[in-house]
Amino acid sequence: MKPITEYEDYRLYLRDFYEERKRTSVFSWREFAKLAGFSSSGYLKLVCDGKTRLSKIGAAKVAPAMGLAGFHADYFCLMVEFCDAPDDTVRMNAYSRMRALAKENGVRILGTEAFSYFSSWANSVVRELAPIMKGAKPSDIGKVCVPEISAGEVRNSLELMVRMGLLIRRPDGSYVQTDKGVSGCSAAIPSAVRSMQKQYAYLAADAVDAFEPEERRISGLTVGADEHTFNRIAVELDAFRRKIAAIVSDVQDYDRIYRLNLHLFPLSRPLGEKDV
């Protein structure tokens, strides 16, 4: 069975533990539940199937039933909190604590650098600026960003991207990109990406006052549509985004960093929908 720090979904860990025990001994969901102190013999199977969830108390009971103690038990309980978080803020906080706990115990969580990358809008901007600002100090890069960021933030961002392999630092101190785009597959990434998207939405709002109309393009439409029309528009927006990505992929000597947001979201509930 894989080390617990290679898991981000506690249900998968429970399932793998159960399958491992069943493969090497006579073991059942009933016995598993009994070991954890649950009266319902099928409770943990329902948890694994996603039909119910573990409470904090439940997680604390299941951990020792699987032979987890100390750091590993704490990590499991945080993983439960992470998976069942009610919103992105709680989810990201739990994941950050998982990372900190693992680091304290000299363990690296796979995908943690990608989580850090997508947690802040500044990383993608620094990634684009560093290659064209050859010999620039972190403070110089920070002053070019809008809004301005500190030299420490730039330094941390550069170190992160070098570790991730997104940037290569040459002997002369300059940086080059290794790839044109960045994506992530960790279960924690969607929460970080949503956080970054919110940050960019706030920056777009600030740009209305920060830049003259000649330097920006901010406009919109308020329209009525049904589901079929919405899906048609979504397809067109996806195609447009890919076209823009193809256009900028050919740019070699750029001198400024832009952000293009595509926003299409409801401003009303469907007619006839009632409050639950």
List the CATH number of the domain containing 207. Answer: 1.10.10
- What confidence score (pLDDT) does residue 178 get? 83
Tell me the two tokens of residue 67: 């032979």
Is the domain of 72 the same as that of 97? yes
Say if 183 falls within a structural domain.
Answer: yes
pLDDT tens digit sequence for 239-252: 898 888 888 877 88
Is the domain of 124 the same as that of 177? yes
Is the domain of 103 the same as that of 115? no
Question: Averaged over 54-59, what is the pLDDT?
Answer: 93
- What confidence score (pLDDT) does residue 117 get? 84
250 vs 49: CA distance, rounded Å? 47
Alpha-carbon dihedral sign for residues 222, 228, 234, 240 = negative
Which of 166-170, 213-217, 268-272 has the least mean pLDDT? 268-272
Say if 8 falls within a structural domain.
Answer: yes
Give the Cβ contact number of residue 178 at 10 Å: 11
Q: Tokens 């249900």 sit at which residue?
A: 11
Is the domain of 73 the same as that of 144? no
194 vs 197: CA distance, rounded Å? 5
Find out whether 267 and 222 touch, Cβ atoms under 8 Å: yes
Orientation of helix 56-65 relative to helix 29-36, angle to 10°: 110
Say if 256 falls within a structural domain.
Answer: no
Statement: residue 113 has pLDDT above 90? no
Statement: residue 149 has pLDDT above 70? yes
Is the domain of 157 the same as that of 169? yes
Statement: residue 23 has pLDDT above 80? yes
Say if 232 falls within a structural domain.
Answer: no
pLDDT tens digit sequence for 67-96: 898 888 999 999 999 999 898 888 888 888
Last residue within a domain, chosen from 205, 221, 237: 221
Band (pLDDT 50/70/90 cuts) for residue 8 is: confident
Amino acid sitting at position 264: L
In Å, the largest CA–CA distance within the chain is 73
Is the domain of 12 the same as that of 84? yes
Is the domain of 115 the same as that of 94? no
pLDDT tens digit sequence for 170-200: 999 899 988 655 544 455 667 778 888 889 9
- What confidence score (pLDDT) does residue 58 get? 94
- What confidence score (pLDDT) does residue 106 get? 76
Is the domain of 55 the same as that of 118? no
Is the domain of 216 the same as that of 126? yes
- What confidence score (pLDDT) does residue 2 get? 79
Say if 276 falls within a structural domain.
Answer: no
Is the domain of 87 the same as that of 154? no
Please spell the DSSP secondary structure of 185-234, one letter per residue. -STTHHHHHHHHHHHHHHHHHHHHHHS-GGG-----------HHHHHHHH
Say if 190 falls within a structural domain.
Answer: yes
Last residue within a domain, chosen from 85, 107, 129: 107
Find out whether 186 and 8 touch, Cβ atoms under 8 Å: yes
pTM over 0.75: no
Last residue within a domain, chosen from 171, 186, 221: 221
Say if 254 falls within a structural domain.
Answer: no
- What confidence score (pLDDT) does residue 185 get? 46
- What confidence score (pLDDT) does residue 151 get? 94
Find out whether 141 and 152 touch, Cβ atoms under 8 Å: no
Is the domain of 128 the same as that of 214? yes
70 Rama class: left (phi>0) / alpha (psi -120 to 50) / beta: left
Burial profile 128-149: b = 16 or more Cβ within 10 angstroms, e = fewer = ebbeeeeebebeebbebbeeeb
Question: Averaged over 103-123, what is the pLDDT?
Answer: 78
Amino acid sitting at position 202: Y
Q: State the residue range of the domain holding 88.
A: 4-107
Provide the mean pLDDT of the chain: 87
Band (pLDDT 50/70/90 cuts) for residue 238 is: confident
CA distances from 2 to 6, 39, 72, 195, 229 (A): 7, 29, 13, 30, 46
Band (pLDDT 50/70/90 cuts) for residue 129 is: very high
Find out whether 187 and 8 touch, Cβ atoms under 8 Å: yes
Alpha-carbon dihedral sign for residues 224, 229, 234, 235 = negative
| Number of structural domains found in the chain | 2
**For position 57, which CATH number holds?**
1.10.260
Which of 21-25, 78-82, 107-111, 224-228 has the least mean pLDDT? 107-111
Is the domain of 170 the same as that of 118? yes
Fill in the DSSP letter of residue 169.
Answer: E
Say if 253 falls within a structural domain.
Answer: no
